[in-house]
Amino acid sequence: MSTDLENIRVVNPEGGILAMNQLTGCEIYIDPGTLLHSIVASGAVGTVADYVPPPDPADPPRYASADEAIAALEDGIEDLAFAPLVMGIPYSERAAWNGKVAAARAYVSGEISAEDAEALSLESSITGQDVAELADEILARAQAFQKVAAIASGVRRKYRDRINAVSDPYGFEVEVDAAGDALRAALAEIEEGVE
């Protein structure tokens, strides 16, 4: 039996068939339930390829743009590096940290002003620490904070540049996740005396 149909295939779960009409050069759709469908589906006019469901669509990228990925990078750095250092400490107290560090350095060097000496003495009288012990603690925490800030800055700059170099949006997630891993590893190495 000669046929003018080729590339006969089932194209949907309902059994609809698509075939190329050689005479017209057009594809035709054959509805299920019709006489023509019954004939074609029986294989009388040629081999019929089974229905192959389309693959599941890929999940969209987590970040649609480099700007979104960089914002996520910066939020992640803030959460991983700095939030643990400032958790529970009001902003007004954090705003005084630079002054406390300067006072502690002045105390250690023996060049402290009367105002700074009074501020350190007030805090040490409440905590029950010696002023020298308090100054050492302030400087140790400042040094730890400075290390964290240096690591965070390095990770942010490195991975910001890597994100900006990515052309495939799926690559943004890879870089943001790699930045988080790098930051965690670097912070684990300096985890000392930071409360």
What is Dmax (Cα atoms) for the chain? 110
CA dist 56 → 2, 52, 79 (Å):
38, 12, 34
User: Are 122 and 153 in contact, with CB atoms under 8 Å apart?
Assistant: no
Lowest-confidence pick of 49-63, 87-101, 114-128? 49-63
Give percent of the chain with pLDDT exceeding 90: 65
Kindly tell me if the per-residue pLDDT of 143 is higher than 60: yes
Domains of the chain, residue spans: 1-53, 66-117+126-190
Q: Is the dihedral of CA 118, 119, 120, 121 positive or negative?
A: positive
Mean pLDDT, rounded, for 136-153: 94
Residue 3 has pLDDT above 80, yes or no: no
Average pLDDT, the chain: 91
pLDDT of residue 192: 53
pLDDT of residue 43: 87
> Strand locations in 26-124, DSSP E?
26-30
